[in-house]
A and B are shown apart, each in its own frame.
Chain A
Amino acid sequence: MKPSRSSALLKRLQLGRRAVIALPLVWLALFFLLPFALVLKISLSDAAVAIPPYGPLLEYADQTLHVFLNVGNYIFLLSDSLYIAAYWGSVKTAFISTAACLLIGYPMAYAMARAPARWQLLLLLLVMLPSWTSFLIRVYAWMGILSNSGLINNLLMGLGLIESPLRMMNTQFAVTIGIVYAYLPFMVLPLYAHLTRLDNSLLEAAADLGSRKLNTFFKVTLPLSMGGIVAGSMLVFIPAVGEFVIPELLGGPDTLMIGKVLWEEFFLNRDWPVASALAIVMLLLLLVPIVWFHRYQSRELG
């Protein structure tokens, strides 16, 4: 700041600066941070037949403050094998889907980054286009393909390869396909961003020093694209753990996932405290991946 400016102007600038910082900070504190505090609070309260359906945490009666801290909801989650199975099912499904996305997405991103420059924008748009159409409708598309009278079964039976339809809908397989299909673009995008930034002279140097192509890939390309692998994997894994739509439409009774259980606990059983406790445990489970992703992201944001 120039010393010639008056202190009144400086003060006004300071004020303006604070106001600009305050705008997003206050909005996010109010509509992002505070809501989580409420979830934590309600996860510790009793369910009640009331509107809203939970009991108070603090009550002032007989001139004393009563605190009701109820860890019963959490104990309930641990004691019922349904919830443990749902958490395990979610993590397992998300893990398998993330691995599949990485195996399909990495070569795709690699080929895109190596494609001639004039093709790259078009290829990028082609990969992104599906994710701009409706998520719900893309999941729904698989209902018509995988069902017993669906496209695959009709085709296979028409060719005489199978006698009776394969049961694919409402299975673990259908849910995994759905997640891979829906989230593949989110894996390809950060990988592509990293692979295009790769310094070609490093690859040439490796080749000059006599490194074979596969060796160069594992020793140079793969380590340098680690940031993209982490970002892409987290962008698939984290939402997949909490996924509701895909297990609801493509899954069956044996594909338990926590997002669906939370939804049912909330909307069907109307047990808000247990739904909140489920959300808190899910958040704890995702804490490490979220922090990991965030650390990477803030490095990118600078």
Chain B
Amino acid sequence: MRFVRRINFSTVMLVLGLLFLYLPMVVLVVYSFNESKLVTVWSGFSTKWYGELFRDQQILSAVWTSLKIAFFAASMAVCLGTVAAFVMTRYGHFRGKTALSSMVTAPLVMPEVITGLSLLLLFVQMAQITGWPADRGMATIWIAHTTFCSAYVAVVVAARLREVDRSIEEAAMDLGSPPLKTFFLITLPIIAPALAAGWLLAFTLSLDDLVIASFVSGPGANTLPMVVFSSVRLGVSPKINALATLIILVVSLATLLAWFFMRRSETKRKLALKQDDTA
């Protein structure tokens, strides 16, 4: 009876929704081991497409380019986004606060084609006036990614900053710690998990971006999504299935690890609370 009551409409929808989210990915993974070049005809198990993938110099160098850009964009976005979040949550009213807070969240919803187009026009204009950037590439993609990623970082970090108990910071300040020192010794360690989450989010967003990178990149820099896109617009390719499988594998492992650590810290916290109660 209890079991029957638990099967209700929303639970069924949750299961169906998760199936909808995962079935296409399962199909990709299965077909990446297909012998045939015709992606939809199954002709036997083979790992040959993985071999072909690792011999594809264009894809390998695009992976490296993407990783480099994502690393630097995420790092810069964490710095900028954290400062923006701190200013928005810790500073009272100041001139330009509304302007800042609208500009911080606006990139979250701006359609990518508009962001890409506008940044390209900026870089072209800058090149005309200052001579830089002479040709677009990694640097311009880095600036573009930093800009939209810091918006996501700011939202994640601001959410954490609002939960932090401010009395510790205030105590440090009362004891004579200057604001900068207070920030680095007290605030930063407390919000470190949010910074890590923001960095990872920015990293994946940068790795994933096709539209903005296509607008602001020059002939010198091809990111992975750009190479994948030019390949898949011609049709389905088993090599891309292999690449997709590897991406899904890496992300799943990272998520599994994150889940494991989050659950462990949660259990520890609960245990500590229990001990506090009994003491």
The residues of A with any CB-CB pair to B shorter than 8 Å are: 13, 16-17, 20-21, 23-25, 27-29, 31-36, 38-39, 42, 52, 104-105, 107-108, 110-112, 114, 121-123, 125-130, 132-138, 140-145, 147, 149-151, 154, 181, 184-185, 188, 234-235, 238-239, 241-245, 248-249, 259, 262-263, 266, 272, 275-276, 279, 282-283, 286, 289-290, 293-294, 297-298, 301-302
| A112 surroundings in chain B (CB, below 8 A) | 14
Give the distance in Å from the alpha carbon of A135 to the alpha carbon of B204 in the complex.
Answer: 10
Contact of A108 among B13, B110, B241 (CB under 8 A): B13
Q: Which of B86-120 contact A (CB under 8 A)?
A: 86-89, 91, 94, 96, 99-115, 117-119
Chain A minimum-CB-distance residue to B215: A266
Say whether B117 contacts A262, CB under 8 Å: yes
B208 to A: closest C-beta gap in Å: 5
B268 to A: closest C-beta gap in Å: 14
Say whether A242 contacts B118, CB under 8 Å: no
| A29 surroundings in chain B (CB, below 8 A) | 103
Say whether B24 contacts A134, CB under 8 Å: no
Say whether A294 contacts B119, CB under 8 Å: no
How many residues does chain B have at the interface if contact means C-beta atoms less than 8 Å apart? 94
Contact A36/B10 with A24-B150, A104-B17, A294-B102 known, Cβ cut-off 8 Å: no
Say whether B147 contacts A301, CB under 8 Å: no
B206 to A: closest C-beta gap in Å: 12
Contact A137/B105 with A42-B121, A144-B28 known, Cβ cut-off 8 Å: no
Contact of B106 among A38, A143, A188, A290 (CB under 8 A): A290
Give the distance in Å from the alpha carbon of A52 to the alpha carbon of B41 in the complex.
Answer: 48
Give the distance in Å from the alpha carbon of A86 to the alpha carbon of B157 in the complex.
Answer: 38
Contact of A276 among B102, B117, B262 (CB under 8 A): B117
Chain A minimum-CB-distance residue to B29: A141
Contact of B259 among A28, A108, A121 (CB under 8 A): A121
B84 to A: closest C-beta gap in Å: 4
Residue B122 interfacial (CB < 8 Å): yes
Say whether A144 contacts B101, CB under 8 Å: no
Say whether B113 contacts A111, CB under 8 Å: no
Say whether A141 contacts B225, CB under 8 Å: no
Give the distance in Å from the alpha carbon of A241 to the alpha carbon of B106 in the complex.
Answer: 16
Say whether B88 contacts A301, CB under 8 Å: yes
Q: How many A-B residue pairs have CB under 8 A?
A: 249
Say whether B121 contacts A276, CB under 8 Å: yes
Residue B175 interfacial (CB < 8 Å): no
Say whether B20 contacts A181, CB under 8 Å: yes
| A138 surroundings in chain B (CB, below 8 A) | 24-25
Say whether B229 contacts A279, CB under 8 Å: no
Say whether B162 contacts A302, CB under 8 Å: yes
| B110 surroundings in chain A (CB, below 8 A) | 238, 290
Interchain residue pairs with CB less than 8 A apart (5): A20-B83, A28-B84, A134-B228, A141-B25, A242-B113
Say whether B87 contacts A24, CB under 8 Å: yes
Q: Which of B190-207 contact A (CB under 8 A)?
A: 204, 207
Give the distance in Å from the alpha carbon of A243 to the alpha carbon of B84 in the complex.
Answer: 28
Give the distance in Å from the alpha carbon of A129 to the alpha carbon of B9 in the complex.
Answer: 24
Say whether A151 contacts B40, CB under 8 Å: yes
Contact A136/B228 with A25-B100, A108-B14, A297-B105 known, Cβ cut-off 8 Å: yes
Residue B80 interfacial (CB < 8 Å): yes
Residue B4 interfacial (CB < 8 Å): no
| A188 surroundings in chain B (CB, below 8 A) | 17
Q: Which of B25-72 contact A (CB under 8 A)?
A: 25, 27-28, 31, 38-41
Residue B166 interfacial (CB < 8 Å): no
Say whether B80 contacts A27, CB under 8 Å: yes
Contact of B121 among A35, A150, A248, A290 (CB under 8 A): A35
Residue B244 interfacial (CB < 8 Å): yes
Say whether B31 contacts A144, CB under 8 Å: yes
Contact of A149 among B24, B27, B40, B101 (CB under 8 A): B40
Chain B minimum-CB-distance residue to A143: B236
Say whether A266 contacts B86, CB under 8 Å: no
Residue B124 interfacial (CB < 8 Å): yes
Q: Which of B234-250 contact A (CB under 8 A)?
A: 235-236, 240-241, 243-244, 247-248
Say whether B17 contacts A121, CB under 8 Å: no
Say whether B147 contacts A28, CB under 8 Å: yes
Contact of B118 among A136, A150, A244, A279 (CB under 8 A): A279
| B144 surroundings in chain A (CB, below 8 A) | 31
Give the distance in Å from the alpha carbon of A259 to the alpha carbon of B124 in the complex.
Answer: 21
Residue B279 interfacial (CB < 8 Å): no
Residue B171 interfacial (CB < 8 Å): no
Residue B188 interfacial (CB < 8 Å): no
| A235 surroundings in chain B (CB, below 8 A) | 108-109
B141 to A: closest C-beta gap in Å: 12
